[in-house]
Structure 1
Amino acid sequence: MTLTLRLCALLLGCLLDLMFGDPHWMPHPVRAMGALIALLERPLRALFPKRPGGELAAGVVLVVLVTGLSTGAAVLALWLCRHIHPLLAFVVEALLCYQLLAARSLRDESVKVYRALRDGTLEEARKAVSMIVGRDTERLDEAGVAKAAVETVAENASDGVIAPLLFLAIGGAPLGVLYKSINTMDSMVGYKNDRYLYFGRAAARLDDLVNLIPARLAGVLMCLAARPAGFDGKNAWKIFLRDRKQHKSPNSAHTEAAAAGALDIQLAGSNYYFGKLVEKPTIGDPLRPVEPADILRCNRLMYATAFLAMVLFCGVPLLLSLAF
Structure 2
Amino acid sequence: MAVAMLVDALLGWPSGLFLRIGHPVTWLGRLIDALDARWNRTVDAPWLRQAAGGAAALIVITLAAALAWAVQSAIAPSWRGVILLGMFGWPFVALRSLHDHVAAVAHPLRSGDVASARSAVSMIVGRDPHQLDEAGIARAAIESLAENASDGVVAPIFWGAILGLPGIVGYKAVNTLDSMIGHRTERHQSFGWAAARIDDLANVIPARLTALLFTLLAPRPGDAMSCMAKDARKHRSINAGWPEAAMAGALGVRLCGPRVYHGSVAEEPWLNGNAADPVADDVVRGLKLYVRSLAALAGLLVILAFV
1:317 to 286, 295, 304: 304
User: For the Cα contact (< 8 Å) 2:258–2:266, is it kept in 1?
Assistant: yes
Structure-2 residue corresponding to 1:50: 44
User: For the Cα contact (< 8 Å) 1:165–1:310, is it kept in 2?
Assistant: no
Structure-1 residue corresponding to 2:30: 35
Structure-2 residue corresponding to 1:186: 178
User: For the Cα contact (< 8 Å) 2:3–2:83, is it kept in 1?
Assistant: no
**CA drift at 1:89:** 4.9
Q: Tell whether 2:268 aligns with 1:280.
A: yes
Q: Tell whether 2:59 aligns with 1:65.
A: yes
How many pairs are equivalent? 303
User: For the Cα contact (< 8 Å) 1:265–1:289, is it kept in 2?
Assistant: yes
**CA drift at 1:280:** 0.7
In 2, Cα distance between equivalents of 1:249 and 1:196:
18
In 2, Cα distance between equivalents of 1:153 and 1:180:
18
In 1, Cα distance between equivalents of 2:80 and 2:112:
46
In 2, Cα distance between equivalents of 1:79 and 1:282:
47
Q: Which amino acid aligns with 1:279?
A: E
2:252 to 264, 269, 291: 264
User: For the Cα contact (< 8 Å) 1:264–1:285, is it kept in 2?
Assistant: no
Structure-2 residue corresponding to 1:196: 188
In 2, Cα distance between equivalents of 1:86 and 1:220:
32
Structure 1 range deviating more: 113-122 or 31-40: 113-122
The answer for unaligned runs of 5 or more in structure 2 is none
Structure-1 residue corresponding to 2:68: 74
User: For the Cα contact (< 8 Å) 2:54–2:194, is it kept in 1?
Assistant: yes
Structure-2 residue corresponding to 1:6: none
**CA drift at 1:183:** 0.8
Q: Which amino acid aligns with 1:135?
A: R
**CA drift at 1:69:** 1.4
Structure-1 residue corresponding to 2:141: 149
Q: Which amino acid aligns with 2:94?
A: A
User: For the Cα contact (< 8 Å) 1:186–1:204, is it kept in 2?
Assistant: yes
Structure-2 residue corresponding to 1:7: none
2:6 to 8, 15, 26: 15
Structure-2 residue corresponding to 1:294: 282
Q: How does 1:99-110 map to 2 (within 5 A)?
A: 99-110=91-102
In 2, Cα distance between equivalents of 1:81 and 1:120:
51
**CA drift at 1:173:** 1.2
Structure-2 residue corresponding to 1:247: 235
The answer for unaligned runs of 5 or more in structure 1 is 1-9
**CA drift at 1:86:** 7.0
Structure 1 range deviating more: 115-124 or 144-153: 115-124
Q: Which amino acid aligns with 2:238?
A: P
User: For the Cα contact (< 8 Å) 1:261–1:285, is it kept in 2?
Assistant: no
1:171 to 147, 163, 168: 163
In 2, Cα distance between equivalents of 1:286 and 1:128:
28
TM-score normalized by the length of structure 1: 0.88
In 2, Cα distance between equivalents of 1:86 and 1:130:
44
Q: Which amino acid aligns with 2:270?
A: T
Q: Secondary structure at the match of 2:265?
A: strand
In 1, Cα distance between equivalents of 2:220 and 2:123:
30
User: For the Cα contact (< 8 Å) 2:224–2:250, is it kept in 1?
Assistant: yes
Q: Secondary structure at the match of 1:50?
A: coil
**CA drift at 1:20:** 2.0
Report % sequence identity.
37
**CA drift at 1:165:** 1.2
1:139-185 CA-partner distances (Å, limit 9, x unpaired): 10111111100100011111111111111111111111111110111
Q: Which amino acid aligns with 2:142?
A: V
In 2, Cα distance between equivalents of 1:220 and 1:86:
32
Q: Which amino acid aligns with 1:30?
A: V
C-alpha distance 70-120 of structure 1, shift in aligned 2 (>3 A): farther
TM-score normalized by the length of structure 2: 0.92
**CA drift at 1:76:** 2.3
2:154 to 152, 162, 169: 162
